[in-house]
Chain A
């Protein structure tokens, strides 16, 4: 098993944190994992992305030429990555703000209104964690329990309230998948 996921969106959407939290959880499940951020000039212009590879054996390349999963938090990310996704892979779209849909027919599509759900929870910033809830449920790469533990240790010293809203966001995203 080797699964590569690309997380992409605007700078402020917490995209790198999504990848980091997945990588952290995968590490805590004893899996091999690599996390590779986009860096340098790519970051100017306000978009960000990162690639996480999770595997039960050593990972050769941290780069994903054909990612299995793509989490697109905004429209430009969908455009940028839709040609690269592996056949049989899956898209997770932040459907509250992305109008377009992938032009690929050989992949699955999860439409998660992450931004909308986060606003309803009163905290637009946690749209990334909403999306992670859906992602964790749908992919089963890591358990919800491990993920939440990792999230807690990443948030670290921050207030209890912060963890509470993140926990709610995760649960709301988790419930979008049956």
Chain B
């Protein structure tokens, strides 16, 4: 019988601590698949964040350096400039990347740092227990926007991918989702392509992942998958947001 599905070699054989139905676990797997397919495990260095993924080094069987909250792009910059021939990625949540780490992210993209950012957008601060995130949708309740996010008091959800795409240093930015089999396959291809761009030395790449957080969304896993399509993607449409095309040969 032909084996069609197995654990990626780069993913350690340990149980995730993530809640059932969490998008982090799926995305971890996709990153490891991409690393395996490209055969780059020995030259890849990851930068996990403060956030639910803070323990990512327990799952990724590759070198990893934890960044202080929000500083992933700065830390990754330091690694990449020191070891330009390695593949360096930072893995960041929405609070991490779009609130406290906005400046680092923005300027890494603007410098065209040759790194890849995996941006987990779950519209909430997961790790700290469900506070409002920069990506929280208007009207969405959280522990720090109890009546629902108000544009006047709390501002609007930030579309980081669209903003960073404006910067000349950014080469490839795609927003994906991990809520359906098709979307998962597409997200996997996008991550692989971003790593390819980096290996070609093209510049800053980012894959945003709309990621279920059933726990803080107070939904079942299935409900949260539907909610991504029906509600979240209205504010954060999935698709390629920028592609300078240099890596066309890698496109799916």
Contacts and interface: CB of A to CB of B under 8 A. Distances in A.
The interface centre, meaning the residue of A43, A44, A45, A46 with most chain B CB atoms within 10 A of its CB, is: A44
A43 to B, nearest CB: 8
Contacts of A41: 127
B245 to A, nearest CB: 42
B19 interface: yes
Interface residues of A toward B: which range?
Answer: under 10
A161 B17 CA distance: 39
Contacts of B215: 44
A46 B215 CA distance: 10
B209 to A, nearest CB: 20
Contacts of B129: 40, 43
Interface in B177-232: 215
Tell me what chain B mostly uses at the interface: helix, strand, loop, or mixed. loop
Contacts of B17: 44-45
Interface string B108-152: 000000000000000000010100000000000000000000000
A41 B126 CA distance: 10
A124 B57 CA distance: 40
A41 B19 CA distance: 11
A61 B161 CA distance: 49
A45 B19 CA distance: 6
Contacts of B18: 44
Contacts of B52: 44
A46 B22 CA distance: 14
A44 B130 CA distance: 12
A40 to B, nearest CB: 8
Nearest to A39: B129
A41 B129 CA distance: 9
B66 to A, nearest CB: 15
A40 B215 CA distance: 14
Contacts of A45: 17, 19
Nearest to B22: A44
Nearest to B19: A44
Contacts of A43: 129
B218 to A, nearest CB: 12
Interface in B1-57: 17-19, 52
Contacts of B19: 44-46
A122 B19 CA distance: 30
Interface string A62-98: 0000000000000000000000000000000000000
A56 B215 CA distance: 40
A138 to B, nearest CB: 34
Interface in A23-61: 40-41, 43-46
B222 to A, nearest CB: 18
A135 B80 CA distance: 60
Nearest to B52: A44
B3 to A, nearest CB: 31
A46 B21 CA distance: 13
A43 B215 CA distance: 11
A46 B214 CA distance: 13
Nearest to A46: B19
A153 to B, nearest CB: 23
Contacts of A46: 19
11 contacts: A40-B129, A41-B127, A43-B129, A44-B17, A44-B18, A44-B19, A44-B52, A44-B215, A45-B17, A45-B19, A46-B19
Given A40-B129, A44-B18, 8 more contacts: A41-B127, A43-B129, A44-B17, A44-B52, A44-B215, A45-B17, A45-B19, A46-B19
Q: Which 7 A-B pairs have the closest CB atoms?
A: A44-B19, A44-B17, A45-B17, A41-B127, A44-B215, A43-B129, A45-B19
